[in-house]
Amino acid sequence: MIRLHDSLTRSPRELAPAQPDGVFRFYNCGPTVYAAAHIGNFRTFLVNDLLRRLLELEFGPGRVLHVRNITDVDDKTIRRAREEGRPLGDVTRQWTEKFHADCAALNMLPPHHEPRATGRIADQVDMINSLLAKGHAYTASDGSVYFKISSFPDYGALSRVRERELKRGVSGAPAGAADADEKEDGTDFALWKAAKPDDGPNRWSGPRGAAEGRPGWHIECSAMSRALLGPTLDLHTGGVDLLFPHHENEIAQSQCCNGVTFSRHWYHSEHLLVDGRKMSKSLGNLYTLDQLRGMGHPPAVLRYALLAGHPRKQLNFTLGSLHAAGKALATLRNYRARLAERPAAANAPAAAERTPFDAVLGHLRDDLNTPAALGALFTIAAEKPASASLGEFDRVIGVFGFDLSEPEPRQAAAIPDEIRRLAGLRWAAKQSKNFAEADRLRAEIAAAGWTMLDAKADYTLVPKK
Ligand code: AMP
Ligand code: ZN
């Protein structure tokens, strides 16, 4: 039995499929594709990958249906395409491919379906039409369509937003929300956004009575999960920042449209921090997989480091945590080699029902307690002589998705002498508070394709993303 914290009831609850076919329906919100995902995003996606593997162990490999969407139209993707003078589809294809490559490098299982928002406009328009017909939505004077929050008394159940009070009333005027993502806002939210000149050719014909435009962000998850998994999900997940308003709005749309519970279980994992602050594009404090690879850290090590912290606690990222993760993987690799060296008989599956690894899996089944599970795993790995069987060890490692093959050779690109020289000059300028010169040198280094990452006492040079 897997027990997982449920954000709606705020308590751990057992996970189980509801449908008689025994298939567990699992949806998680995917990336917005306009740049490389950062390793904070990957913390969330890796926790979901761990969950997927654990669910398959529990219910059987063919008994989990996993859907993760790709947000390929929104303000950010459109802005990026406009800035680069490229068609939206080109930009989002590029970053979707990059996302897939990073996921593969991190040994993540691909979801069974990965719908793109622009690939399923009709499903979204259908849902908006139903909401209009049922009186849960209205068309504004510019041809945008809004969800009427006051028509759904349960609004706020997930985030307890009513306790915090909806900031600007719950209904009425759309308050200019049409050009924002409404992420911070508790007012009526856009289901459909009438096209603006900046949107260029990225417009579709809309719901009945609405203008040409594009879907709002929240509706894609409601519509695409319904199309691929049905009206009720067994589990819906995402990072904590999606709890409000994104998931609250998904619940409102889906339940008003379908008249049944949208998701039977909600799970939100916590953020990755850098120096105590959320890793995010807007703060500019992010690392990408490529940057870390450039510094010689293989993706398998990053996977370990990001899964080592409890998923429901914030995790502060440091380069030191990567060194520790590399050592931990080496210990597991050596332990496996010791098991593999033994005569075959010693590795026969244990006759007993219980294996030493039950404790490890027990911790994972107890609200995905990865630190406790890894603690138990290392207790086993420290045993001499080893008592476990190779097959059982591999099965548990498979749930973590750790790749124990020899690490890829250091990929750190050789830093050209000239770049080292400029970096030295810039560091000296910065130390002597000659910031204008330091900035000029930073730009020169950047133009040559390198980034200086400053720490307190020294710096690192990494190839520019
Ligand atoms: P986005 O591409 O912005 O839609 O985000 C993709 C996923 O990454 C969402 O589930 C977010 O909750 C999650 N996310 C964003 N920033 C972080 C962070 N610093 N740590 C962990 N997860 C994050
Ligand atoms: Zn979503």
pLDDT mean over 74-90: 96
Residue nearest to atom 5 of ligand 1 (CA): 31
In this structure, is the dihedral angle defined by the CA atoms of residues 32, 268, 315 and 371, taken in order, positive or negative? negative
Give yes or no: residues 80 and 194 share one domain: yes
Residue nearest to atom 11 of ligand 1 (CA): 239
CB distance 369 to ligand 1 below 6 Å? no
> Hey, which of 38, 41, 183, 275 would you mutate to test ligand 1's pocket, going by the most ligand atoms within 8 Å of its Cβ?
41
pLDDT mean over 447-459: 82
Closest CA to 186 of 172, 168, 163: 168
From 205, 235, 269, give the residue that closes a domain: 269
CB distance 311 to ligand 1 below 6 Å? no
Give yes or no: residues 244 and 351 share one domain: no
pLDDT digits (tens, 9 = 90+) for 224-282: 999 999 999 999 999 999 999 999 999 999 999 999 999 999 999 999 998 788 898 77
Residue nearest to atom 7 of ligand 1 (CA): 41
Q: Which atom of ligand 1 is nearest to the CA of 241?
A: 12
Beta strands in 247-296 (DSSP E): 266-269, 272-274, 277-278
Residue nearest to atom 2 of ligand 1 (CA): 31
Report yes or no on 299 lying in a domain: yes
CA 449/CA 451 separation, integer angstroms: 7
Residue nearest to atom 23 of ligand 1 (CA): 41
Report yes or no on 193 lying in a domain: yes
- Give the residue with greater pLDDT, 349 vs 165: 349
Residue 156 structure tokens: 């706020």
CA of 190 to the centre of ligand 2 (A): 14
CB distance 265 to ligand 1 below 6 Å? no
- pLDDT (0 to 100) of residue 183: 34
Give yes or no: residues 70 and 215 share one domain: yes
Q: How many CB atoms lie within 10 A of CB 430?
A: 18
Rg over CA atoms, the chain: 25
CB distance 239 to ligand 1 below 6 Å? yes
From 400, 427, 442, give the residue that closes a domain: 400
Compute the half-sphere exposure of residue 264: CA atoms within 13 Å on the CB side of its CA.
Answer: 17
- pLDDT (0 to 100) of residue 180: 46
pLDDT mean over 79-100: 96
Lowest mean pLDDT among 28-37, 89-98, 338-347, 363-372: 338-347
Please list, in sequence order, all residues whose beta carbon lies within 8 angstroms of the beta carbon of residue 184, skipping any fewer than 6 positions away: 245
Report yes or no on 133 lying in a domain: yes
CATH number for the domain that contains residue 105: 3.40.50.620
Query: What is the residue-averaged pLDDT of the chain?
Result: 90
CA 408/CA 151 separation, integer angstroms: 56
CB distance 31 to ligand 1 below 6 Å? yes
- pLDDT (0 to 100) of residue 184: 37
- pLDDT (0 to 100) of residue 165: 56
Residue 128 structure tokens: 């908006």
Task: Give yes or no for a contact between 422 and 441, defined as CB atoms under 8 angstroms apart.
Answer: yes
Phi then psi dihedrals of residue 461, to 5 deg: -105, 125
Q: Which domain holds residue 436?
A: 417-463
Give yes or no: residues 263 and 291 share one domain: no
- pLDDT (0 to 100) of residue 355: 82
Strand-strand pairing, 450-454 and 145-147:
unpaired
Name the amino acid, one letter, at 159.
S
Residue 402 structure tokens: 């750790």
DSSP label at residue 271: P
Q: Which of 151-168 are b and which e, b meaning 16 or more Cβ less than 10 Å from the residue's Cβ?
A: bbeebbbbbebeeeebee
Give yes or no: residues 142 and 262 share one domain: yes
| Cis peptide bond prior to 416, omega within 30° of 0 | no
Give yes or no: residues 207 and 153 share one domain: yes
Report yes or no on 313 lying in a domain: yes
Residue nearest to atom 9 of ligand 1 (CA): 239
Distance of CA 69 to the CA centre of its chain: 11
- Give the residue with greater pLDDT, 450 vs 126: 126
CB distance 272 to ligand 1 below 6 Å? yes
Q: Residue 449, SS3?
A: coil
Burial of 280 (C-beta count, 10 Å sphere; 0-12/13-18/19+): middle
Compute the half-sphere exposure of residue 428: CA atoms within 13 Å on the CB side of its CA.
Answer: 6
CB distance 302 to ligand 1 below 6 Å? no
| Cis peptide bond prior to 298, omega within 30° of 0 | no
The β-bridge partners of 113 are: 67
Residue nearest to atom 6 of ligand 1 (CA): 31
CB distance 221 to ligand 1 below 6 Å? no
CA of 120 to the centre of ligand 1 (A): 23
Number of compact structural domains in the chain: 3
Q: How many CB atoms lie within 10 A of CB 266?
A: 23
Please tell me the pTM assigned to this model.
0.85
Give yes or no: residues 109 and 175 share one domain: yes
Q: Torsion angle, CA of 93/96/97/102, rounded to 10 degrees?
A: 160
Report yes or no on 250 lying in a domain: yes
Give yes or no: residues 291 and 426 share one domain: no
Task: Give yes or no for a contact between 56 and 16, defined as CB atoms under 8 angstroms apart.
Answer: no
Q: Name the pLDDT band for 455 (thresholds 50, 70, 90).
A: confident
The β-bridge partners of 269 are: 239
Q: Which atom of ligand 1 is nearest to the CA of 278?
A: 19
CA of 464 to the centre of ligand 2 (A): 31
CB distance 280 to ligand 1 below 6 Å? yes
Q: Torsion angle, CA of 173/178/179/181, rounded to 10 degrees?
A: 100
CA of 423 to the centre of ligand 2 (A): 42
Give yes or no: residues 90 and 126 share one domain: yes
Point out the ligand nearest to the CA of residue 92.
1
Give yes or no: residues 193 and 64 share one domain: yes
Residue 121 structure tokens: 């406009």
Name the amino acid, one letter, at 4.
L
Report yes or no on 412 lying in a domain: no
Burial of 171 (C-beta count, 10 Å sphere; 0-12/13-18/19+): middle
CA of 125 to the centre of ligand 2 (A): 17
Closest CA to 51 of 268, 333, 241, 279: 268
From 400, 425, 441, give the residue that closes a domain: 400
CA of 170 to the centre of ligand 2 (A): 22
Token pair 């067994």 is found at 234
Give yes or no: residues 453 and 381 share one domain: no
Report yes or no on 303 lying in a domain: yes
CA 246/CA 149 separation, integer angstroms: 13
> Hey, which of 7, 28, 44 would you mutate to test ligand 1's pocket, going by the most ligand atoms within 8 Å of its Cβ?
44
Closest CA to 260 of 284, 229, 238, 287: 229
pLDDT digits (tens, 9 = 90+) for 143-196: 999 999 999 999 999 999 875 555 544 433 344 343 344 433 447 999 999 999
CA of 358 to the centre of ligand 2 (A): 34
Q: Which atom of ligand 1 is nearest to the CA of 315?
A: 20
Report yes or no on 161 lying in a domain: yes
Which helix or strand (DSSP H or E) is residue 213 part of? strand 213-215
Helix, strand, coil % (nearest 5) of the chain?
45, 15, 40
CA of 382 to the centre of ligand 1 (A): 36
Q: Torsion angle, CA of 351/352/353/358, rounded to 10 degrees?
A: -110
CA of 94 to the centre of ligand 2 (A): 21
User: Order of strands, edge to edge, in the sheet holding 277-278?
Assistant: 277-278, 272-274, 315-316
CA 395/CA 216 separation, integer angstroms: 42
Give yes or no: residues 86 and 11 share one domain: yes
